[in-house]
């Protein structure tokens, strides 16, 4: 599978009318083809079956470098799966290289979904993610919370997972003074998802830091908590 043939398969599903709507919605200047995400899912699944890990990473990087919206989504999808053996370093390296290029939530979230799998496979990579929290680039800072969302979801978190939760909550606390809407939304997203598993920890976070969050973010973070915890003072 060459990058040219992969892009041809994507382009075969192009819808110019839908592409125009996507360009208006995302408000990021790049080419749009109007290809639905489920189609990209199917294509990426076929490519994963046909390619080994280094070839997947190489194709993903080539598709990402086209700067076409759907090609970048497909690149992230190509690297999104539960496990990669024997070594998923090529995929992790590709995702790291993309992070400074994020310029909107949509592509960032697809890429972070792929990156989250790589973090769960090797949590020592959180040391790299922690460096993102002090970046001057808003989308890199936001990615540190989005890519760690798996740690909000464990039903029976092990001690090492609870330690990671606390580590990321520390990052979130450090973000509270940042007034950017997307940063505040990311804090709220992390807390809201965690509230399904550990509502008491979310209440404790909001007791300490909630007053410093934007009202919309505080409300969203508490949305799934019992009503007494959602009332604002």
Residue 231's pLDDT band (boundaries 50, 70, 90)? Answer: very low
Residue 54 has pLDDT above 60, yes or no: yes
The confidence score (pLDDT) of residue 41 equals 95
* 144: nearest Cα among 179, 95, 217, 181: 95
- Cα gap 193→186, rounded to integer Å: 11
Mean pLDDT of 33-49: 95
Burial class of residue 141 (count of CB atoms within 10 Å of its CB; 0-12, 13-18, 19+): buried
> pLDDT, tens digit, for every residue of 146-198?
999 999 999 889 999 999 999 999 999 999 999 999 999 999 999 999 999 99
- The rounded distance, in Å, linking the Cα atoms of 87 and 103 is 29
Q: How confident is the model at residue 228 (pLDDT cuts 50, 70, 90)?
A: low
> Which pLDDT band, with edges at 50, 70 and 90, does 1 fall under?
confident
Tell me which residue of 99, 94, 128, 125 sits closest to 112, measured CA to CA: 99
Measured distance CA(165)–CA(150) in Å, rounded: 10
Query: SS3 of 167, please?
Result: helix
**pLDDT tens sequence across 80-106:** 876 666 678 999 999 999 999 999 999
Mean pLDDT value across residues 107-120: 95
Q: 92-95: long-range contacts at Cβ-Cβ below 8 A with a sequence spacing of 24 or more?
A: 92/118, 92/122, 92/125, 93/57, 94/57, 94/60, 94/61, 94/64
Q: Is the pLDDT of residue 233 over 70?
A: no
pLDDT at 85 (0 to 100): 66
Tokens linked to 130? 């922690």
Residue 42: band (very low, low, confident or very high) from pLDDT cuts 50, 70, 90: very high
> Each residue of 8-34: pLDDT tens digit?
999 999 999 999 999 999 989 999 999
């Amino acid at each position: 599978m060459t990058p040219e043939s992969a892009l041809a398969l994507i382009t075969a599903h192009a819808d110019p009318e839908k592409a125009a709507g996507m360009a208006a919605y995302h408000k990021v200047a790049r080419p749009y083809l109007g290809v639905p995400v489920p189609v990209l899912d199917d294509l990426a699944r076929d490519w994963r079956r046909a390619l080994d890990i280094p070839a997947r990473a190489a194709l993903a990087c080539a598709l990402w470098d086209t700067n076409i919206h759907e090609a970048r989504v497909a690149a992230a999808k190509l690297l999104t799966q539960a496990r990669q053996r024997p070594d998923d370093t090529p995929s992790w390296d590709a995702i790291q290289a993309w992070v400074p290029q994020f310029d909107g939530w949509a592509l960032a979230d697809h890429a972070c979904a792929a990156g989250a799998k790589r973090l769960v496979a090797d949590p020592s990579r959180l040391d790299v993610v922690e460096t993102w929290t002090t970046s001057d680039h808003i989308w890199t800072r936001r990615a540190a919370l989005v890519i760690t969302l798996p740690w909000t979801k464990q039903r029976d978190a092990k001690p090492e997972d609870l330690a990671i939760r606390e580590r990321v909550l520390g990052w979130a606390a450090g973000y509270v003074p940042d007034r950017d809407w997307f940063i505040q939304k990311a804090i709220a997203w992390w807390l809201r998802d965690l509230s399904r598993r550990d509502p008491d920890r979310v209440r404790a976070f909001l007791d300490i830091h909630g007053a410093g969050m934007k009202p919309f973010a505080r409300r969203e973070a508490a949305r799934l908590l019992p009503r007494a915890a959602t009332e604002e003072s």
